[in-house]
Amino acid sequence: MAKMLADGNVKATLVLAIPNIAAPVAATLNAGVDLECLITADGLSVSVDEAVVALPALCETFDAESPGRAKYAIDLTMYRHIATVDDIAWTTLIRGLNGFLVLRYGVDVDTAYTAADKVLVFPGTAGERKPNPTTANGGVTFGSRWYVSVQPELDGVVV
């Protein structure tokens, strides 16, 4: 059974409007801002923080638990570019920008979105841009958090 590879096979797109996050339109996604070549190889981190609901009963000797509320966030580490026209990540991901971060796994990044593609759609808002410390023999990078504002669609299908 073949495993899904990440290198060159994770598309990350910023889209300002998606009417139906369960069924985004291919043309809308293809018109978005491609971010995958601006993100460092280890710079895409999707996290979920899930609260715990304690359900202990007086008659039991076991502390039962259930899943509580969940909170998603996406941390991005992105490259800066010398020319402003090329510094798309820095000039686009401004604090307060609202939109949708769309991720597609397992398909070459050069392949346009097409009907039946499986995508994850995260409605949200960009946080502050955070310049990262410089390193020897490295590029200049910055961090940005995508604050997910409503329940994301983890099983979206492009139409």
For residue 55, count other CB atoms closer than 10 A to its CB.
Answer: 10
- Say if CB 48 and CB 154 are below 8 A apart: no
**Domains along the chain?**
10-157 (2.40.30)
Of the candidates 39, 51, 65, 21, the one whose C-alpha atom is nearest the C-alpha of residue 158 is 21
C-alpha 45/C-alpha 31 separation (Å) is: 24
C-alpha 3 chain-centroid distance: 21
Distance CA 47, CA 49 (A): 7
Q: What is the pLDDT along the chain (159 residues), one digit of tens a residue?
A: 889 889 999 999 999 999 999 999 999 999 999 999 999 999 999 999 999 999 999 999 999 999 999 999 999 999 999 999 999 999 999 999 999 999 999 999 999 999 999 999 999 999 999 999 999 999 999 999 999 999 999 999 999
The predicted pLDDT at position 117 comes to: 98
- Scanning 11-131, the segments in alpha helix (DSSP H) are 26-30, 88-92
Task: Find tokens 């339109």 and name the residue.
Answer: 25
β pairing state of 98-105 and 118-131: antiparallel
